[in-house]
């Protein structure tokens, strides 16, 4: 963000106090803040007893002796799945709808808590019959269908560890994740619906396992029938999900596991090429998931219909589609497909049809709806909506106000929630019944979470200044490490601000932030080489490595450039090998390389533009100056070039990126996002 953008954010003067009807029935209470300030650990111990049913009660709240690896509620025992299922049935809520789901073609399924519990029991038995037990890893590669939720909960019920891989990721990405996690079983589907068509999933699994060859730890592949598309079959390895479940016994007693039993690994991009397997465990994660879900969304589980639009392949889908809402016995709405299929009002139609009361989505989606115009949502009855949420990237005040006015009927409060795969759950947010809202600000740390904004040197900044976001005390849902890489865990999050010799551990989030005079926090985006495209994290280095791995490419540099709709977009600068230059025109190279990245990583990583250049701007020590490339990509005058080894390079690049050979792809160069 430029200083101009920060300034316009901080002078944003609109204020929205909680609507009376939300304030009156508010689930969150000011006492939460008071108690958490006075006695943080006592606060979390109370939340742990209130939100979770323990098979064996814990006696110690936090063990930080192994910092920075925390142990929360460590001598307590629980079964995460039973907390999301059986206990609600036992409490007489078996007939409450757990999941109402609509497929992209319009097929609808309604599943009660009793039915979901029964299904998960069968699935747990089926997985156990395949040899899955405590600590084993199971990869899940599914469309957004109810079986995805069943699969996650069945794995959790066995004390095993799931690793969900987003269905949009390529066979190569799936391969990397299966290999790193050492998965024993893969759960997939023949295909799922997207943009009116069936996209096949099983072939990517076959390809990924083919790439693994004898290194494969995978013994079985369970296949859900959804797309009805033809697929290849390996009779020794593959089983139909429905057959396996039908053959499995109906009863399954949920065993209790230690609070620190691993629950899931979820891969996310970091600053280096290799995605990190973020490890989360059971008790603390479930406590903070349930607590934040209840309070941040003002959940009234008996009457709300809650819809989080994230896919289960992302952490938002783990915490706020599955674990938080189901632990709270909420009714969750799920939609398989894309927002514009078969018409651009699809989401609004779904809200009207299913009576959605809480909507949680990403700024990218809001900005793309904004572009289409308010007439589309105005064609539907959205009056059921009472709470709106935003996540994934900073939300600009313009989009915030549009969201509140057009979707929220000028009344629904918006909670802008800041958190990360690593934090597990929401860390900064307003509370709809308590907080006077400021468009564009995520506002306050949730009770029990301690956040500071620090200078590079680790000194706390005074309002109204900017700096780096840090978490200064451990929190229950924090990651417990990077799978198989303790060094990287220390290095990435704990080396910048911590002083281990003084026993001081400070978590570095990788985000820039401002704090204003009221103590409200304004997020400014990543300060590292991580891009945020449509609320999804991508690594510049990972995409550069992918480009350089293509035999046509000599060198590549990738930057995240501002984009009106997606927040940031991937822009690549590539030098083609001398020996290959004659093979294609620049425009052809550019298209081939965009397709290459999409194939290797997944469509979300496809660059918006690939500029074919003959030089890259480098310092005398050979470091690529991405800042200058970002200036070009954003159509800005180029900044200071004095440290370049050859300042003439930038002039060349500027000319080339505007050259006739590439105008076809630069034509839509976006205006900068405000």
Contact residues: ligand WT7, CB under 6 A: 268, 315-316, 391-394, 416-421, 442, 509-511, 523, 526, 532, 535, 537
Query: CB-wise, 28 or 266, nearer to ligand WT7?
Result: 266
Query: CB-wise, 489 or 589, nearer to ligand WT7?
Result: 489
Query: CB-wise, 118 or 144, nearer to ligand WT7?
Result: 144
Contacts of 420 (CB under 8 A, 6+ apart): 315, 427, 509, 510
Shortest Å distance, C-beta 513 to ligand WT7: 9
Total Cβ atoms within 10 A of residue 376: 17
Contacts of 554 (CB under 8 A, 6+ apart): 575, 576, 577, 578
Shortest Å distance, C-beta 74 to ligand WT7: 25
Instruction: Give the residue from 466, 77, 4 showing the smallest Cα distance to 281.
Output: 77
Structural tokens at position 5: 């953008």
Query: CB-wise, 361 or 417, nearer to ligand WT7?
Result: 417
The answer to whether the beta carbons of residues 442 and 429 sit under 8 Å apart is: yes
Shortest Å distance, C-beta 385 to ligand WT7: 19
Say which residue the tokens 């590539």 belong to.
574
Shortest Å distance, C-beta 425 to ligand WT7: 9
The answer to whether the beta carbons of residues 609 and 572 sit under 8 Å apart is: yes
Angle, to 10 degrees, between the axis of helix 113-129 and the axis of helix 146-157?
60
Shortest Å distance, C-beta 530 to ligand WT7: 7
Beta bridge partners of 44: none
Could you please report the per-residue DSSP string of 28-48?
A: S-HHHHHHHHH-HHHHHHHHH
Query: CB-wise, 14 or 197, nearer to ligand WT7?
Result: 14
Shortest Å distance, C-beta 41 to ligand WT7: 25
Pairwise CA distance, residues 626 & 477, whole Å: 34
Shortest Å distance, C-beta 511 to ligand WT7: 5
Structural tokens at position 614: 């003959």
Query: CB-wise, 259 or 523, nearer to ligand WT7?
Result: 523
Shortest Å distance, C-beta 567 to ligand WT7: 9
Shortest Å distance, C-beta 309 to ligand WT7: 12
Query: CB-wise, 167 or 394, nearer to ligand WT7?
Result: 394
The answer to whether the beta carbons of residues 80 and 263 sit under 8 Å apart is: yes
Could you please report the per-residue DSSP string of 577-594?
A: PGGGGGGS-HHHHHHHHH
Query: CB-wise, 268 or 331, nearer to ligand WT7?
Result: 268
Instruction: Give the residue from 163, 203, 169 showing the smallest Cα distance to 183.
Output: 163
Shortest Å distance, C-beta 270 to ligand WT7: 10
Shortest Å distance, C-beta 496 to ligand WT7: 14
DSSP state of 595: H
Say which residue the tokens 């417990």 belong to.
480
Query: CB-wise, 287 or 513, nearer to ligand WT7?
Result: 513
Residues making up the chain, counted from first to last? 674
Pairwise CA distance, residues 137 & 150, whole Å: 16
Instruction: Give the residue from 262, 304, 286, 300 showing the smallest Cα distance to 87.
Output: 286
Pairwise CA distance, residues 103 & 82, whole Å: 27
H or E element, residue 615: none
Structural tokens at position 93: 């809520």
Query: CB-wise, 392 or 560, nearer to ligand WT7?
Result: 392
Total Cβ atoms within 10 A of residue 243: 13
Query: CB-wise, 94 or 313, nearer to ligand WT7?
Result: 313
DSSP state of 213: G
Query: CB-wise, 434 or 523, nearer to ligand WT7?
Result: 523
State the alpha helices, DSSP H only, in 248-358: 283-296, 315-317, 324-327, 346-354
Instruction: Give the residue from 261, 311, 248, 310 showing the smallest Cα distance to 83.
Output: 261
Shortest Å distance, C-beta 528 to ligand WT7: 9
Query: CB-wise, 268 or 662, nearer to ligand WT7?
Result: 268
Shortest Å distance, C-beta 510 to ligand WT7: 5
């Amino acid at each position: 963000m430029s200083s101009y953008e920060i300034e316009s954010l901080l002078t944003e003067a609109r204020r929205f106090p909680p609507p009376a009807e939300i304030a009156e029935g508010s689930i969150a209470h000011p006492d939460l803040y008071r108690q958490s300030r006075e006695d943080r650990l006592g606060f979390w111990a109370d939340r742990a007893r209130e939100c979770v049913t323990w098979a064996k009660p814990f006696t110690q709240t936090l063990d930080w002796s192994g910092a920075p690896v925390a142990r929360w509620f460590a001598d307590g025992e629980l079964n995460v799945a039973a907390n999301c299922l059986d206990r609600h049935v036992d409490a007489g809520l078996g007939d409450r709808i757990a999941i109402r789901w609509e497929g992209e073609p319009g097929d609808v399924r309604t599943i009660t808590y009793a039915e979901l519990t029964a299904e998960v029991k069968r699935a747990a038995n089926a997985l156990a019959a395949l040899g899955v037990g405590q600590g084993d890893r199971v990869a899940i590669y599914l469309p957004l269908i109810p079986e995805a939720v069943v699969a996650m909960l069945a794995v959790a019920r066995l004390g095993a560890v799931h690793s969900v891989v987003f269905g949009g990721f390529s066979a190569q990405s799936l391969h990397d994740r299966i290999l790193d996690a050492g998965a024993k079983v893969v759960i997939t589907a023949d295909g799922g619906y997207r943009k009116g068509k069936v996209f096949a999933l099983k072939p990517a699994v076959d390809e990924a396992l083919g790439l693994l060859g004898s290194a494969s730890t995978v013994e079985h592949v369970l296949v859900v029938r959804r797309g009805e598309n033809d697929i290849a079959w390996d009779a020794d390895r593959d089983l139909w999900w429905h057959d396996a479940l039908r053959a499995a016994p109906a009863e399954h007693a949920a065993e209790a596991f230690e609070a620190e039993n691993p629950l899931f690994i979820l891969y996310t991009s970091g600053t280096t090429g290799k995605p990190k397997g973020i490890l989360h465990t059971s008790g603390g994660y479930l406590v903070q998931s349930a607590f934040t879900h209840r309070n941040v969304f003002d959940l009234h589980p008996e009457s709300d219909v809650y819809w989080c639009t994230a896919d289960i392949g992302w952490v938002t889908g783990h915490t706020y589609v599955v674990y938080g809402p189901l632990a709270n016995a909420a009714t969750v709405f799920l939609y398989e497909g894309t927002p514009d299929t078969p018409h651009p009002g699809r989401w609004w139609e779904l809200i009207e049809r299913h009576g959605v009361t809480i909507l949680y989505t990403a700024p990218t989606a809001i900005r793309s709806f904004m572009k289409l115009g308010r007439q589309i949502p105005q064609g539907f009855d959205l009056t059921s909506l009472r709470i709106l949420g935003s996540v994934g990237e900073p939300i600009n005040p313009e989009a915030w106000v549009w969201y509140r006015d057009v979707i929220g009927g000028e009344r629904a409060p918006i909670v802008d929630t800041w958190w990360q795969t690593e934090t597990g759950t929401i860390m900064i947010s307003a509370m709809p019944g308590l907080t006077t809202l400021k468009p564009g600000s995520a506002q306050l740390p949730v009770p029990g979470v301690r956040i500071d904004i620090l200078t590079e040197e680790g000194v706390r900044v005074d309002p109204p200044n900017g700096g780096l976001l840090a978490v200064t005390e451990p929190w229950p849902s924090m990651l417990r490490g990077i799978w198989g890489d303790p060094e990287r865990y220390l290095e990435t999050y704990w080396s910048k601000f911590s002083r281990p010799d003084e026993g001081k551990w400070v978590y570095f989030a990788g985000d820039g932030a401002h704090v204003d005079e009221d103590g409200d926090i304004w997020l400014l985006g990543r300060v590292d080489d991580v891009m945020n495209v449509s609320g999804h994290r991508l690594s510049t280095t990972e995409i550069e490595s992918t480009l350089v791995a293509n035999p046509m490419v000599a060198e590549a540099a990738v930057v995240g450039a501002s984009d009106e709709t997606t927040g940031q977009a991937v822009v690549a600068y590539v030098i083609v090998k001398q020996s290959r230059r004659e093979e294609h025109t620049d425009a052809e190279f550019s298209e081939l390389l965009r397709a290459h990245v999409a194939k290797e990583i997944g469509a979300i990583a496809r660059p918006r533009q690939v500029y074919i250049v003959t030089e890259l701007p480098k310092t005398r020590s050979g470091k690529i100056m991405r800042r200058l490339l970002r200036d070009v990509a954003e159509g800005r005058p180029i900044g200071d070039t004095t440290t370049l080894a050859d300042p003439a390079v930038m002039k060349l690049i500027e000319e080339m990126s505007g050259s006739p050979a590439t105008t076809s792809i630069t034509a839509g160069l976006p205006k900068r996002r405000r």
